[in-house]
Structures are given as C-alpha cells and as structure tokens.
Amino acid sequence: MFANWPLLSLLVWLPMLSGVLVLLFAGRSSHLARWMSLIASLGIFLLSLPLAFNFDVSQSAMQFVERYPWVPSFNVEYFLGVDGISMPLILLTSFTTILVVLAGWDVIEEKTAQYMAAFLIMEGMMIGTFAALDAIQFYFFFEGMLIPMYLVIGIWGGPRRVYATLKFFLYTFFGSVFMLIALIYMYFQADSFSILDFHKLPLNMTEQILIFLAFLIAFAVKIPMWPVHTWLPDAHVEAPTGGSVILAAIMLKMGGYGLIRFSLPITPDASQVLDALMIFLSLVAIVYIGFVALVQSDMKKLVAYSSISHMGFVTLGMFVVFMIMANPVGEGGASLALEGAMIQMVSHGFISAAMFLAIGVMYDRLHSREISAYGGVVNSMPIFAGFVVLFAMANVGLPGTSGFVGEFMVILASYKANFWIALTAALTLIIGAAYTLWMVKRVIFGEVRHAEVSTMPDLNAREMIIMSSLAFLVILLGVWPDPLANVMHATIDNLVQHIAQSKL
C-alpha cells in the first residue's frame, strides 16, 4: 500500500508540520504537548518502517526516489532517495526521536511545547539530510538543523550553556561554509547540483584535493575528528539529555555519512592520496581520546570522549579501504571495512543514546553528573544497574553486543591493510574497557558514600520502556547483524567499485 506514497517527503515534512502544530496548539499545556509529540513521533516511526520492508536489497541504485524542480533558476532540485547507506540511518533517526520525547517527558517542565517541537522539527531536518540527493538540498537540511539544536542547548542546557551552544554553532557553521563553496564550484563543472552527477564528475588532482579538504572541514567537525572535536564535550555536558542523545546518536553520524556520500565517491583520488592522514587522525582519536576519557570526572564528558573515540573507528574503516585495495591480499577487505564503519555508526547510535539516557536517569534523581557524587547505585536501583552494565559492555565492544560487530569488522579489515594499524585500533578495546568499566565500578558498584544515593528510586515504567527497547536492539544487532549488513551489501559493493576507479 505504500508503493505510491511519497514516503520520504512525508518523513521529512510531517515531523516539521507536527512540530509547528505542537507550537501552535500546545503552547499552554505541557501535558498536551507531550502527548501530541509522542503520537507524532510514534506515527513517524511507523511510517518509516515501510522504508525497510519495501527496500530492495539487491540493487545499489537509489530507491523511493522523488525528483522535482525546486529553484529552477539555480538548478536546485527537490531530489530525495535512499540507498543501503542512508536507509538505516533514517530509521535510526525516527526511532531515536521517540526516545528523546520520552526522555524529556516529566523532566522538561518549562516551555515543554517548544522543547518537543524543536526535536520534531530537527527530526525532519535530519531525515532530510540523509535522504537529500541534491547537494544544496543536503546543505539546506545539514545547516538548518543547527537552528533547533542551538535553541535546545541554549534554553534547556546547563550552567555554561551559552558558551557551549555558541561554540557548537560557530564550529559547525564554520566547517560547512567551505563545503558550500565546493558544491557551487562543482556545480559549474557538472551543470547540476545532483550528488549522483557529482559522483561521475571528472576532476583533476588539485581540484580533488581542495574539494576533499573543504568536505573534510565540514564533516570532521561534525564527526568530530581530532583535533576539531573540542566543541563536542562542551555541547554534550551542557545539553539536556535529549539534546545529548540526538547529538551523539544522529548528528555525529552526519559527518560519517557525509564522508561516505561525498568525499569517497566524489574525490576518490584525493582520498587515496590523503588516506594516511585520515588514518592517522582516526588512530589519534581512537587511542589518545580514549586516554582523555579515562581521566574525566564528569560522566557526560566521559561518554562524549568515548563517542569521539568510537567514531574514530568509522573514519578508520572508511579510509583504510584505500590501503586494502593497494594490498594484493586485501580481497574483500574493502567492503568489510566500509560495512564495519556503517554498522559501527548504527550501533554507536544505540549505545551512545543508551549511555546518555542512563546518565539522564541518574541526573534526574540527583542533579549531578559527577562520578564522585554517586557510588553504590546498584543497591537502590538494581534493575537500572543491570541495564547500565549491559550498555557499558556494549560500549566496550563485548561479543554478543552491537558494539562488537562494527569494531571487529573494522579491525579485521585493517589487518589486511597493515598489521600495525589493526594493532593500534585493537588497543582501544583495552582503553575502552578501562574507562567504561572504571566508571561503572565507581558509579554503580562499591559502597554507598552519599546518603542521597540510597534514596534513589529505581526505573519507572517510562524509563523501563526506553532502556529495554535499547537493550533489545543492542543485543539483537550484536547476535544477528545480518539483516543490517544485507541492506548495505549492494550499495557498499557498488561504492567500492566506484572508488577503485581513478577519476583522473
């Protein structure tokens, strides 16, 4: 029944429309705002499911395509479509938004309607970013998203929220303007803003390197890669729980998605020339940021740094591809690396969301994010402690959880490129285990050092739903990643073939 529906357009505009409706009709009643937003986000999630069911995994071409002229004088089109790379990310977005609405349920008491509307509008923009196939349309959503996020951190954030949100906005804005120039430049070469036309566009080496760097600034800030990661810990710490969840689960993925959608296929030769740089930056993120995470005393900051470290696997998987292809024994490794990177993105979406939500649960009770303020939480919140341990294990990359699959695939693929890269990346499993488990030990176990901790009530029904749905997905993806991998196969194989051919 969904065959003829403009599914993607609905998924982009319905969330925004419902956001506007929430603003208009629920401005005075927080209660109404919550229910309206929950119904809207559930409905949108249900609407995104046909995307998965009707998806043809055997083809690499774009599906659910909608293409109309938008601004003909600029040759800008309204061009939506998904392939195996973007479809899972859209589902991740529509699922995460439900969690965000639930997570802010009783917590956000001031301006509830604006809070919920901001996330619904953001959802539409995020889906738009993943579905856009016109470069200006992509930029339109990619940048537009900054507006609601800026407000979310600034209005409902912590004490240093203004600093954090300005830094977040300016950092990401600065990164993306160079991309805009690159897109305009390519427009005059290709006479079209279609990303698919950009893929085919022949470019010489100088052009490729400059364009690659322009994209890199935009996406490296978003991922974020070392050394342009400094906005992330600030933004995470100050953002309300919902904001942190969206930042970690979706927005960081946009950087990775951008690299795989723009940098690799548009500038394959530049990517190959600069792959050593990218691998170096990824390894620094994985190892060095891992150590930085180790010394954090603020739980949110710790998870934020752990996010950067885990996103290092994504960039590593994407750029180690070129080394594998240069290596005669690297047969099949390239697809493995890219798939690993993609699965890592999805898995990190679940795990980081879960970690931030768990911190949010504790913060709602004690209003502190300091590790030292807790200790012995397991005594008063046994069920919650169980979930936290599970998510911590997933964060560490324990087999059987989703965290294992992506990291293992990337490490395995790196081994085909270079033993030392694989070894360095594998090191992170130890560091990751160290900072995550140490935090769990100090927060969840041990003696109860503060009287308030023993009075913390265990999870309520709402929190149970959030935690158990995430736990289910983390384990499901951990033991049965095949469905997700299948969705990506055709697209990734096609991409590997595409980037293997020089554009020069």
Partner 1 sequence: MTLDALNLMPILPEIILLVLACSILLIDAFMRAGSRDVTYWLAQISLVVTFVAVLTGMSMEQRLSFDGSVINDALSDVMKLAMILMISMAFALSRSYLKDRDIHKGEYYILGLFGLLGMMIMASAYSLLLIYLGLELMSLALYAMVAIHRDDIRSSEAAMKYFVLGALASGLLLYGMSLLYGVTGSLDIAVIRQAVLGGEVPKLALLMAMLFMLSGLVFKLGAAPFHMWLPDVYDGAPTAVTLYLSSAPKIAALALLLRLFGDGLIGMLPDWQMLMIVFAVASLFVGNVIAIAQTSFKRMLAYSTVSHVGFILLGVLSGTADGFSAALFYTLAYGLMSLGGFGIITYLASRGIEADQLDDLKGLNDRSPWMAFILLVIMFSMAGIPFTLGFWAKLAVLQAVVEINLVWLAVYAVVMSVIGAFYYLRVIKMAYFDKPLVTGMPVQSLDMRWVLNGTGIAVLVLGLYPAGLVALCAQVF
Site for partner 1, rule CB under 8 A: 23, 27, 69-74, 111, 114, 136, 139-141, 143-144, 146-147, 150-151, 154-155, 161-162, 165-166, 169-170, 173-174, 177-178, 180-181, 184-185, 187-188
- Distance in angstroms (rounded) separating the CA atoms of residues 243 and 158: 11
- Distance in angstroms (rounded) separating the CA atoms of residues 339 and 485: 7
b/e for 145-178, b at 16 or more Cβ within 10 A? bbebbbbbbbbbbeeebeebbebbbebbeebbeb
Report in angstroms how near the CB of residue 151 gets to partner 1 at its nearest.
6
Report in angstroms how near the CB of residue 147 gets to partner 1 at its nearest.
6
Comparison of 173 and 288: residue with beta carbon closer to partner 1: 173
Comparison of 221 and 429: residue with beta carbon closer to partner 1: 221
- Reported as half-sphere exposure (CB side, CA atoms, 13 A), residue 392 has a value of 23
Report in angstroms how near the CB of residue 206 gets to partner 1 at its nearest.
12
User: Is residue 202 exposed (0-12), middle (13-18) or buried (19+ Cβ within 10 Å)?
Assistant: exposed
Comparison of 185 and 280: residue with beta carbon closer to partner 1: 185
Task: Extract the tokens encoding 292.
Answer: 């930085």
Comparison of 207 and 269: residue with beta carbon closer to partner 1: 207
Comparison of 184 and 196: residue with beta carbon closer to partner 1: 184
Residue position matching structure tokens 């012995």: 376
Report in angstroms how near the CB of residue 298 gets to partner 1 at its nearest.
22
Cis peptide leading into residue 224 (ω within 30°): yes
User: Is residue 40 exposed (0-12), middle (13-18) or buried (19+ Cβ within 10 Å)?
Assistant: buried
Alpha helices in 54-111 (DSSP H): 86-103
Report in angstroms how near the CB of residue 6 gets to partner 1 at its nearest.
16
Return the closest-CA partner of residue 228 out of 236, 240, 219: 219
Spacing of C-alpha 375 from chain mean position: 30
Report in angstroms how near the CB of residue 211 gets to partner 1 at its nearest.
11
Report in angstroms how near the CB of residue 487 gets to partner 1 at its nearest.
29
Comparison of 27 and 446: residue with beta carbon closer to partner 1: 27
Q: Name 451's Cβ contacts closer than 8 Å, sequence gap at least 6.
A: none
Comparison of 137 and 271: residue with beta carbon closer to partner 1: 137
Report in angstroms how near the CB of residue 88 gets to partner 1 at its nearest.
25
Comparison of 43 and 144: residue with beta carbon closer to partner 1: 144
R_g of the chain, CA atoms, integer Å: 22
